[in-house]
Structure formats: C-alpha cells, structure tokens
Structure 1
Amino acid sequence: MGGSCDTSATGDLPDAAARAFRDSAGDVHLIATHHRHWASIGPTLNDVERDCAHMIYEAGNSPEPDTYDNRGWLETFYTDGDTIHALVAMDYHPDHYPNKDCVVEGQCWYGTTVQATSTDGGYSFTSPPQGTPRFVAGPPYQFDANRSDRLGTFVPSNIVEGDDGYLYAMLSYDWPAREGSCLIRTNNIADPASWRAWVGAVGGFSVEFASPYPVAPGDPAAHECTGVATGIGSPIRSLIKVEGHDLYLAISHVAITEGGVTKTVVRASTSSDLTNWSTPQTVMDLPRYGQFGESCGTHPGVERYQYPSLLDPDSTSINFNTTGSTAYIYATKITYCAGFNRDLVRYPISIDIS
C-alpha cells in the first residue's frame, strides 16, 4: 500500500502497526515503518503514496542503554492539527553494537518509551536531545546483560481521548515477574514526564514511571504498572473509540485453541471505562510470522502476518482513533525466505455493537 522507498538503501519496510493522522493542510499520513521512518501521504487513507523525499525519524543508534536513544519506532501519534506528538518504542539490543555482550545472543531486549514531536506537519520528528527529558515509560531497573529475556515497555497503542480531559494509551510491559498491558494517561502530552499508569480501582492512576539512570529507585516495584484487559492478550495493537457508542475497542494478535486446533487470530474486546473489558471475540484468523517454531527452513515461501491494527478511512478524527461500523485490519505480510521483502496489506471488517 503506497509503495516503498529503496529498501536496500533505506531499510524502508513495514515493521510496526499502521497508524495515521491528518495534518493541518488536510493530507493523511500513513506510517508503518522500520527504525528508519518514511510515510505514505495522500488526500485520503485510501489514496496514499510513499514520500521518499523525507525520512521523518531516526533515533540516535546509541550503544548505551541509559541514553534512551538507540533504535526507535514511531508507534503512535496525536495531533491538534498543528503540532504532532508521538510515542516511540525505543529498543536496545546490545548485539547491535561492537563490543557489547549479552548472556544469550539475540536476547537482552531492553525497551523504553520516549517522546517525539513534529512541528512541520509530520514531515520530520525529533526527540529531545540526549541528556534532556525524553523518558515517558520504562523499567525501573537498569539494563542487565546477564538477563536473557525481555525487560521494559513496548508497543504503545493509539492515543485516545477520555471524557475527563485526559489522553489515554496502552503499553505492553515485561517486568521481572509478570507481563501484560498497562493503561497510561496524561493531561499534558507535551511533557514526557506527565504520563501516569493505572494500578487498580483503589490506587487509580498513581504510578509514576521512573528512569533507573543514573540511579535506580529504592523501591522499583512502586514504579511498575498493573495489567488491564488481561483476557484479550498482549500487546494491544489498537485502542479505538467506537463512533456513536460510549465504547472503546481494543485488538490483539494472539494464539488460541478452538476445537482442538491452536491458531493465531485477531481478537477484539470493548470497554466503556478502559479498565473493565468484555469477553474477547475473534475478528479473523491471521497466521502469525514466527509462531509455533516456524522458520524459513520449515515453511519456505509461506506467507504470514504481524502487527495488525485497526483503521477506518472514514474516521471523523484527524488522529484516526475512532471507527464507524466498517474498517480495515492493516497488517504486515511476511514471506518466509523472502528477506526484507514485506507488504502492508489490509482486510475489510464490520463492527457490530449489540
């Protein structure tokens, strides 16, 4: 959809959930990209073309985890029509850098969430310079090369408006003893330190994420969010308001077993308050790339999918964070043994709220 720039030269490929926003000139920007970012732009979401003239974002590729400036993915956007705010999934993998070690090669994934902003209509985004406030969320623990699994925050969802004047989003998290999705909110999206996380009906939005650098907090657990929407699975790729209903809709891409058959599907759940969610329903079967031990060696030429998200071309929101009764599931199609040759595809769905 919308073509691509020269992948061999630019690394341009769909490697995140598709998001969209409308700029102040009325153009739609569709973004689903790698850690070097390009957008597809056009008059409508149905009519966008790749803009290879503007690389809109690239993080600093720092070899040090405490910079929060490693490899970053623009994951979600929110605009008032002029300034466009973004949340960046910042990934640190030591094996991307010379003389950096990990106890298990390819592991030691350390994830944080940082801020980025565009003031030119979405044609370029910047994060605050290294050493200035950019940390939105992350683990209250320093990177440990002896830890073999993931640690941190990952995959911000859409940003949606609440009835209370706050903006809300979901983050997936992996803490030392648990994982899931947490609900965060802010009343000042320009301030990366303003986001707070929900910890339950009693504590409400009382958790303040704490950077562990230069010194980790004395009680790290006090800076861990609590899981919500546990039944739908994590990560929650899209968080959308349903137009004409006092409801939010969330989707995930998970493995389930039906009739004795285990498969991966897109599932949806609804909520009126973002903390209590309905029993998930299957939207569509969507075989996931890398699931069940599949690889190029076992499934050459077979097509699989990643990063499903929900977008309605007729959304009434300039942030495309609402949907009517019809929409599309966007996903990245990946073929085993095809290298970085990927395609962004979409499938029509109907949304029936009963």
Structure 2
Amino acid sequence: MRAVRGTLAAGLVAGALPAGADGLPALRITASPGEERLLFDHGRDACETWDIPDTPTRAFRDASGTIHVFQSHHRARALAGPDFASLRHSCRVAFEGAGRDDPASFENRGWIASTFTPDGRTVHAVVHDEYRGHETGACEPGEADACWYNTLTAAVSHDGGATFRPSEPRLVAALPLRAEDTRGHRAGFFEPTNIVAVTDGFAMMANVVSPAPRRSGNCLLRTDDLADASRWRGWSDGAYRVRFEDPYRADPAGPLCDPIAPAALPWPVTSLTRHEASGLWIATMKGRRADAGGVERTGVFVSTSSDLLHWQGPALLLEAPLMGSGTPCAPDRPIGYPALIDPASSDRNFSTVGDRPLLTFVRARLDGCAVGPDRDIVALSVEIGGR
C-alpha cells in the first residue's frame, strides 16, 4: 500500500454526531491530515483499460489468513495479501456475469458488490446486476437511463474467493415491476452495502430507485440463510415482511421496502460498520448539502445508529468534489464509493471498526470532461471518539 502526499488536507472536517435517545455516546469522526495511501493505482496495477474500482471496498480473510478485497468492475478481480499494506492486484478474473440481453434471466452484467464468509472457505456474494436495454436494442442508444433495470442476485465461492459462480436460486431482490414496466426510468435495486452479522441472521442495505407511487430510498434487508437467496426480506411497516418475488414469474404488484430514515440517510449508503467501543453502526454516504451559511458542501457524510433502523446525522466527514456531478464539466479529481474499514479488525469480514480505521474511496482523473477509467483506490486514516 503505497503512501502519497495528501491532496485533500484542506477538505478534512470533523463529523460530529449527537447522542441517540438510547443513551449511547455521541461520536466525533475525524479524517486525519497527513499522507494518503493507495490500495490500487490504475496506471500501475490495471490489467486492462476498464479494470477499474467501481464499488466501495469489500474485504474478508480466507481460511489461511489472506485478505481479499473486491472493489472491481463487472469483470471482477481482487486485491489480496497478508495485510492491507501488502495487497496486490490479481489479473485473474474471479467472476463475470453472463451478459445476457434478457432482463428476466438476471444474468446480465454483474458486479460483486457484497461479500461475507463464515469460515474463509465458502464466500457468499451479492451481485449488483445491470440490464442496460440501450445496449441490447430494446431502447435507443441515447436512452441509457430510461432503459436501465437493476436487480440484486447471489453468487458463491467454495475456494476462498478465488472463483465465484451464480447461486441457485439466484434472485435476491427486484422491484415488483418488470423491466418493460419501468421504461423511461432508471429503476431497481442498486449498490448493496457490505453484509453484516446481526442477531439471528445477516443484514445489508441497498439503494431502491422506483417509479412513483412507490418510494425510493435505502432499503434494509435481512436473511437467516446466506446460502438461499430467496430468504432475503425487506423492512416494511415495522417488520421484515417484504418478500422479493421474481416479477417475471409472479404477479408484479407486491409491496416494496420502506425507506430507512430518509432525513439521516438522504443518499445511498455505501458501507455499514459497527464501532466496537460504542456499539453504534456507522453508515457512509457521498452527498451534497448546504451548510448553515447556505454554502453547498460536497463529499463523504456519516450517520450513526444503534439498531440499523433509527439514525442520527448526516455529518460531513470529508469535503471533496464528487464523481457524477458538475455541469458541463466534472470537477477536478472527483471521488466516489466511500467506505470505512479497519485493517486491525478481528472480524473475518471487517464489519467492525476501532478508533482508528481507514476511510477508503475511489478518485478519478478526468478524460476531457468525463470520468474515465483512470481511477485509484485511496485510503485516509480516521479517528473516532466521544464528544
């Protein structure tokens, strides 16, 4: 993990979050000035032009103690090493979606977006699966957003993360709508967080984008069995009562998740970690909002919760330009995909953090006015403490 001089020092801020009604302590989360560290340098490490970081950091330890980091494009490759300072990017493809043109197949372009291993040998993954109708002839070439239908599917590795294959059953979550029902809208389940262990099961969040009248926002999902994709349920009306049916096999008219704490989680959550000292969950997001003086601030925000349902925040942690923003030109060296991760975590899936974790994110160099493939994974030290 190569160290480089920090170029974001002027943008480092303290994210101060209030104590919750449950009496758990307030947190002060501060990005530390100093050196940045590169986990992946596209110019040095990429195996092909579009071998790029395109998700937040997801990591686990295999049975031998080797750390695997997936943060890849739809042709998934991993970084691996004995510790975070020794990660090396492999050119071996661990997973690639079938790229089928049929949205009902749920085998389109797939990103390994979440991983969880109970033992370091079997590794369960949730896949961000994209059907892009403008690439199949279903829509005009200029209708990318109007013909984008996204689902979550499952994959599994039985060799410690070296290779993954689609699970059966495959579908984790889909809107109660078919792709043709969403024409004119980018719609579906996007960008699941990492999977975390909770009492009697496992949980994650995902970004739901749905045509009205259904509400978009962060969906909280839970399962008691990672080996069975059909066991995932979404939170709605006070319980995990939403069952995600295949809309091509069942009546696509069922309910959808309730957005979780929209005021505190106004943007898609990109990582969930539990602070060991306080017991609080920390959510990271990228976003933009006006400060008390009316000045717009963009960057990485954090919110906290004791139960994944009730949240405090958001507070700005790192001020920086964002990928996917800027008119007519993107801002210089924008960032995206933030995550908190602690290299010292004793958890096999790095779902816990101590008081000095890392904030990781992707930073891009522009190709003209567009974000191109030249993207690096950057890590900054973070300090977490009470107020």
Q: TM-score, normalised by structure 1?
A: 0.91
Unaligned stretches of 5+ in structure 1?
none
Please say if 1:349 is aligned against 2:382. Answer: yes
**Preserved contact between residue 295 and residue 336 of structure 1 (Cα < 8 Å):** no
Q: In the aligned structure 2, how far is the partner of 1:93 from the partner of 1:137?
A: 17
Say which SS state the counterpart of residue 169 (structure 2) adopts: coil
Report matched runs for 1:112-123 at 5 Å: 112-123=151-162
Bigger Cα displacement from structure 2, 312-321 vs 337-346: 337-346
Pick from 178, 184, 192 the counterpart of residue 221 of structure 2.
Answer: 184
Pick from 177, 186, 193 the counterpart of residue 230 of structure 2.
Answer: 193
Cα RMSD of the aligned pairs, angstroms, is 1.7
Q: In the aligned structure 1, how far is the partner of 2:237 from the partner of 2:312?
A: 17
Report matched runs for 1:195-214 at 5 Å: 195-201=232-238, 204-214=239-249
Say which SS state the counterpart of residue 85 (structure 1) adopts: strand
Please say if 1:226 is aligned against 2:262. Answer: no
Q: 2:358 maps to what in 1?
A: 328
Please say if 1:70 is aligned against 2:111. Answer: no
Letter in 2 for 1:152: G
Deviations 1:157-206 (A, max 9, x none): 111121x22111111101212210011101111000001111133xx111
> Structure 1 residue 277: deviation in Å?
0.6
Q: In the aligned structure 2, how far is the partner of 1:247 from the partner of 1:262?
A: 28
> Structure 1 residue 102: deviation in Å?
4.6
> Structure 1 residue 121: deviation in Å?
0.9
Q: In the aligned structure 1, how far is the partner of 2:106 from the partner of 2:64?
A: 32
Q: In the aligned structure 1, how far is the partner of 2:242 from the partner of 2:181?
A: 27
**Preserved contact between residue 22 and residue 29 of structure 1 (Cα < 8 Å):** yes
Bigger Cα displacement from structure 2, 99-108 vs 28-37: 99-108
Unaligned stretches of 5+ in structure 2?
1-38
> Structure 1 residue 33: deviation in Å?
0.7
Pick from 278, 288, 295 the counterpart of residue 261 of structure 1.
Answer: 295
**Preserved contact between residue 103 and residue 146 of structure 1 (Cα < 8 Å):** no
Letter in 2 for 1:6: C
> Structure 1 residue 103: deviation in Å?
8.9
Q: In the aligned structure 2, how far is the partner of 1:103 from the partner of 1:335?
A: 26
Bigger RCO of structures 1 and 2 (CA < 8 A, at least 6 apart): 2
Letter in 2 for 1:276: H
Q: Are the structure 2 counterparts of residues 90 and 146 from structure 1 closer, same or farther at C-alpha, using a change threshold of 3 Å?
A: closer
**Preserved contact between residue 101 and residue 145 of structure 1 (Cα < 8 Å):** no
Q: In the aligned structure 2, how far is the partner of 1:328 from the partner of 1:271?
A: 19
Please say if 1:309 is aligned against 2:339. Answer: yes
% identical equivalent positions:
33
Q: 1:106 maps to what in 2?
A: 144
Letter in 2 for 1:200: D
**Preserved contact between residue 178 and residue 247 of structure 2 (Cα < 8 Å):** yes
> Structure 1 residue 106: deviation in Å?
1.5
**Preserved contact between residue 218 and residue 265 of structure 2 (Cα < 8 Å):** no
Letter in 2 for 1:80: P
Pick from 174, 195, 198 the counterpart of residue 159 of structure 1.
Answer: 195
Please say if 1:137 is aligned against 2:173. Answer: yes
Pick from 301, 324, 327 the counterpart of residue 293 of structure 1.
Answer: 327
Bigger Cα displacement from structure 2, 145-154 vs 244-253: 145-154
Q: 1:91 maps to what in 2?
A: 130
Say which SS state the counterpart of residue 246 (structure 1) adopts: coil
Letter in 2 for 1:256: R
Q: Are the structure 2 counterparts of residues 116 and 195 from structure 1 closer, same or farther at C-alpha, using a change threshold of 3 Å?
A: same
**Preserved contact between residue 103 and residue 145 of structure 1 (Cα < 8 Å):** no
> Structure 1 residue 145: deviation in Å?
7.7
Q: In the aligned structure 1, how far is the partner of 2:258 from the partner of 2:319?
A: 29
Q: In the aligned structure 1, how far is the partner of 2:216 from the partner of 2:125?
A: 24
Q: In the aligned structure 2, how far is the partner of 1:326 from the partner of 1:90?
A: 34
Q: 1:14 maps to what in 2?
A: 53
Say which SS state the counterpart of residue 95 (structure 1) adopts: helix
Q: In the aligned structure 2, how far is the partner of 1:77 from the partner of 1:229?
A: 25
Q: Are the structure 2 counterparts of residues 294 and 322 from structure 1 closer, same or farther at C-alpha, using a change threshold of 3 Å?
A: farther
- Aligned residue pair count: 337
Deviations 1:263-306 (A, max 9, x none): 3121111111111111222111121023132436xx5xx21111
Report matched runs for 1:238-249 at 5 Å: 238-249=271-282
Letter in 1 for 2:247: P
Deviations 1:11-69 (A, max 9, x none): 311111111110011000111110001111000122201112x2111000001100001
More strand by share: 2
Q: In the aligned structure 2, how far is the partner of 1:18 from the partner of 1:27?
A: 16
Q: In the aligned structure 2, how far is the partner of 1:151 from the partner of 1:168?
A: 22
**Preserved contact between residue 182 and residue 211 of structure 2 (Cα < 8 Å):** no
Q: In the aligned structure 2, how far is the partner of 1:158 from the partner of 1:290?
A: 22
> Structure 1 residue 137: deviation in Å?
0.3
Q: Are the structure 2 counterparts of residues 213 and 280 from structure 1 closer, same or farther at C-alpha, using a change threshold of 3 Å?
A: same
Letter in 2 for 1:171: A
Q: Are the structure 2 counterparts of residues 353 and 160 from structure 1 closer, same or farther at C-alpha, using a change threshold of 3 Å?
A: farther
Say which SS state the counterpart of residue 144 (structure 1) adopts: helix
Please say if 1:55 is aligned against 2:113. Answer: no
Say which SS state the counterpart of residue 230 (structure 2) adopts: helix
**Preserved contact between residue 102 and residue 148 of structure 1 (Cα < 8 Å):** no
